[in-house]
Amino acid sequence: MADITAKAFICGCAGPVLSRDEIVFLNRERPFGLILFQRNCREPEEVRTLVAVFREAVSRADAPVLIDQEGGRVQRFQNGFTRLPPAASYAKAPELAESAGWLMAAELLAVGVDFSFAPVLDVDCGVSQIIGNRAFSTDPELATRLASLFRKGMNAAGMAATGKHFPGHGAVALDSHLTLPTDERDLDSLRVKDLLPFKQLILEGLEGIMPAHVVFPNIDPNPAGFSSFWIQQILRRELNFNGVVFSDDLSMAGAASAGDFPERARQAQQAGCDMLLVCNNPAAAEQVLEALPVTQDPVRELRLRRMQGRPLMNRAALLNSEKWRHCSALINLHTQNYA
């Protein structure tokens, strides 16, 4: 990604076409990137137009566009895209995890989306309302192996991966979209279970990580996404992570304990987040962008360059390829059997 003079911020938009007001806003505030949701896709080809208009508005031809396209309950683009099963399904078919990662990434890259926030590295503990079968397994070793294969497939398609939700969201019942969950475990308990997938994928070169809006009061008083202990001491120093740290959505209720939106942004940056997200609250996005300075950080820029999508083919070529037909058929059958 070229000269990053944009603000270290990622925002959303209201629909499949940017409004005039949104274009003016993007041109004035110059956020770094755009995150898309189901509301932004009626047809795959519309996405490419939306991406082009966004990049023109922010005056950067390589401004990144991203999405949550895990599969199962969290698959934003569905019409015109292969329906993916939840991550937990691959425990019964480990040989399909790599193909699923490739398929998800190849289909997104072919319409101009640079990367998906995937894979989920949480270890399911059987209590989480929001994680559940989004996790690959209740077994940390199996979760690690399957997530590694999924990332391998993403990389083969030309897409970087972002593991979430560090240091683990699978042992709390509450949903951080609605409240701030609390996990009472100690650090040793996390090290022998929840941190294992993060540790291994970091060793394999994981490009991005998203911290959880979860507080671990027996370890640190701040939610992980606002904690220099978790981001700088554990993630950067202990685990030697050198990739991008993306905040989770600052408009989620789990982030509210940090204060108003500009204060949430300030605390997340101070804790060590490279890139901030406000996805579904345009007024809050404007508040954050107005308060957020443009900063030059060569280390951050180097990390962000690794996130740029490298599509191997356009959509027409992809849909005509033998690999896409083979992988799509396998995953369609697996999804039907899992359902």
- Sequence spans of domains, the chain: 7-338
- Which of the listed CATH numbers 3.30.420.10, 3.20.20.300, 3.40.50.300, 3.40.50.1950 matches domain 7-338? 3.20.20.300
pLDDT value at position 5?
Answer: 57
**Start-to-end CA span in the chain (Å):** 40
Span 127-138, mean pLDDT? 95
Closest CA to 157 of 48, 324, 311, 320: 311
335: pLDDT strictly greater than 80: yes
Q: Supply the pTM of this predicted model.
A: 0.96
Span 92-112, mean pLDDT? 98
Give 125's pLDDT tier (boundaries 50, 70, 90).
very high
pLDDT value at position 292?
Answer: 83
Span 75-96, mean pLDDT? 97
CA distance linking residue 104 with residue 157, whole number of Å: 9
Beta pairing partners, 245: 209
Active-site residue set: 177, 248
More confident residue, 204 or 3: 204
3: pLDDT strictly greater than 50: no
pLDDT value at position 181?
Answer: 93
Span 17-21, mean pLDDT? 97
pLDDT value at position 1?
Answer: 44
CA distance linking residue 255 with residue 273, whole number of Å: 14
- Is the link from the previous residue into 86 a cis peptide, with omega within 30 of 0? no
pLDDT value at position 211?
Answer: 98
Query: 95: Cβ–Cβ under 8 A, 6 or more apart, which residues?
Result: none
216: pLDDT strictly greater than 60: yes
CA distance linking residue 150 with residue 71, whole number of Å: 12
The 3-state secondary structure of the chain, one letter per residue:
CCCCCCEEEEECCCCCCCCHHHHHHHHHHCEEEEEECHHHCCCHHHHHHHHHHHHHHCCCCCCCEEECEEECCEECCCCCCCCCCCHHHHHHCHHHHHHHHHHHHHHHHCCCCCEECCCECCCCCCCCCCCHHHCCCCCHHHHHHHHHHHHHHHHHHCCCCEEEEECCCCCCCCCCCCCCCECCCCHHHHHCCCHHHHHHHHHCCCCEEEECCCEECCCECCCHHHCHHHHHHHHHHHCCCCCEEEEEECCCHHHHHHCCHHHHHHHHHHHCCCEEEECCCHHHHHHHHHHCCCCCCHHHHHHHHCCCCCCCCCHHHHHCCHHHHHHHHHHHHHHHHHC
pLDDT digits (tens, 9 = 90+) for 252-295: 888 898 899 999 999 999 999 999 999 989 999 999 988 887 77
Give 153's pLDDT tier (boundaries 50, 70, 90).
very high
